[in-house]
Structure 1
């Protein structure tokens, strides 16, 4: 689960994707414009920026935060995000006492409408097994060192239920606008393998 391993795997996937794209274009099955449009759709319309907006709204609006906890999918739809992969969303919130981590032990179920495409490590057998068996060690490898007294809860996504983590609002984020707060929310912090960024980081 080391960072170098992640980068090597990502580089390999990028090379494979480029080779596949070249073959499809060469055979006339796709055009480069179509590929660009698909990529833009996933980057602009389906991506972690959507989840970041959900988290930022929860940080500034206590009523929205309550709706998010009671019916995640409905509250997320209020902001215009939804779809098959977000049909049943459970939102869990990190606190000083509890840290939540999401995994899919069977395959790679993931809330695409709010997080976009799953990272390669999320789909890896190592993460899927170790996040359940030794979550504290896995978090340490992602650079998240939690106090020994912090409880770690692991949530197993399925095709029926997907999870979104609301990370703790970082220190020094008071007075920031909703857009500025959203910029502090990372994809990994909404999976639980990271923390929200500190202002100015």
Structure 2
């Protein structure tokens, strides 16, 4: 875990209350015919899968190609991320944690679901699930393997516990063979899971395969 104590109690219940209220409001608006559930699903899917992760991917790609920006990200991630326009609620108190050939980082919120929405969008269902929150702390290597992320035994895995006071963005390693790629092209290799730590950035070959029909 990180080297500091974490306090979750002050915001866990608030998050649960907010979720319940949003669900209740959505139900009422749907019943009154004011909201189309299908349209809501599209909006949520877009924000979860595209808008949010794309923001984080831009941060990662810029850190790969711009040494000055990377140094700023290490020094003050909140300000560096904010300079790209990615700020707002759930985007405060950011820390960038960099993967290396000998260390892999992964993020969890053990007692709730603190998550940096401005850079990653909506949290995936599994991130909020009790099994993930409990198991990734105890057996991170096994959990990562279940995501298809197989790491050599000599790679240390460090788990960071996210809170309202400390949120984390994992900076995955830059894939090999990308030296000639532009920042925009590099951003397309960065996945949501690689910024949580349950995955790796895509290789150019893997992305091309994924684009095939």
Write out per-residue CA displacement over residues 90-129 of structure 1, whole angstroms, 9 at most, x where no aligned residue: 1000000110000000111000000000000000100000
Give runs of aligned pairs for residues 166-181 of structure 1, distance below 5 A: 166-181=171-186
The aligned residue for residue 21 of structure 2 is none
TM-score by length of 2: 0.79
Instruction: Report the counterpart of residue 133 of structure 2 in structure 1.
Output: 128
In structure 1, C-alpha distance between the alignment counterparts of 2:76 and 2:29, rounded to whole Å: 42
Instruction: Indicate whether 1:152 and 2:153 are aligned.
Output: no
Judge conservation of contact 2:48–2:123 (CA < 8 Å) in 1: no
Count of aligned pairs: 182
Q: Work out whether residues 100 and 153 of structure 1, in 8 Å CA contact, stay in contact via their aligned partners in 2.
A: yes
Counterpart of 2:58 in structure 1 is 53
Q: TM-score, normalised by structure 1?
A: 0.83
Displaced runs of 4+ in structure 1, greater than 2 A? 20-26, 28-46
Residue 42 of structure 1: aligned partner? 47
Q: What's 1:10 paired with?
A: none
Q: Structure 2: state its 5+ residue gaps.
A: 1-24, 207-213
* 2:91 corresponding residue in structure 1: 86
Q: Secondary structure at the match of 2:205?
A: coil
- What's 2:145 paired with? 140
What are structure 1's unaligned runs of at least 5 residues? 1-19
Residue 65 of structure 1: which of 47, 57, 70 is its match? Answer: 70
Looking at structure 1, the residues matched to 172 and 46 of structure 2 have their Cα atoms a distance apart, in angstroms, of 26
